[in-house]
């Protein structure tokens, strides 16, 4: 069987998906260059954004990441504005942890290893923000 794909496979996106499946964390993956200013975790308001492959996403009452331009990520979907593309040079991965850091250190270690091994990642830094 031959399957033709209409899009290129992106190693970064594949690694994030593999990490999410293998660690059971919801992970946001973002292009740092497309984030404006400081990032905060907030509760969604009546704002919306265009989610990757989903169209307009209602984020009211959902936990979400926002910058100076508005919301750009939730545990369920990332925005097109900050999505990883073939032009991405620097990424931010956010592991949404609702279980108190029990396995987070191991997941971050695995992320560093995968990024270095499969994506030629360099200068991988991890930090737990509470």
pLDDT on residue 10: 86
Predicted confidence (pLDDT) at residue 40 exceeds the cutoff of 70: yes
Q: Are residues 41 and 30 in the same domain?
A: no
Range of the domain at 48: 36-81
Find the radius of gyration of the CA atoms of the chain. 15
Query: Measured between alpha carbons, how far is 65 from 123 in angstroms, rounded to an integer?
Result: 24
Check pLDDT > 90 for residue 2.
no
Whether residues 106 and 126 share a domain: the answer is: yes
Residue 1 lies in a domain: no
Q: pLDDT per residue over 80-125, tens digit each?
A: 999 999 899 999 999 999 888 789 999 999 999 999 999 999 899 9
Q: Which residues contact 127 (CB under 8 A, 6 or more apart)?
A: none
Say what angle helices 104-119 and 11-23 make with each other, to 10 degrees.
150
Number of folded domains in the chain? 2
Assess whether 92 and 128 both reside in one domain.
yes
Render pLDDT for 58-70 as a digit per residue (tens, 0 to 9).
999 999 999 999 9
């Amino acid at each position: 069987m031959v399957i033709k794909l209409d899009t290129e496979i992106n190693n970064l996106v594949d690694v994030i998906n593999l990490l999410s499946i293998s660690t059971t964390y919801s992970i946001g993956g973002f292009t740092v260059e497309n984030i404006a200013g400081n990032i905060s975790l907030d509760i969604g308001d009546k704002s919306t954004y265009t989610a990757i492959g989903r169209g307009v996403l209602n984020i009211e009452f959902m936990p979400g990441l926002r910058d100076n331009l508005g919301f750009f990520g939730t545990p369920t979907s990332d925005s097109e504005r900050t999505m990883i593309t073939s032009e991405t040079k620097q990424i931010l991965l956010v592991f949404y942890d609702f279980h108190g850091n029990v396995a987070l250190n191991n997941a971050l270690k695995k992320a560093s290893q995968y990024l270095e091994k499969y994506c030629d990642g360099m200068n991988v830094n991890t930090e737990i923000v509470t």
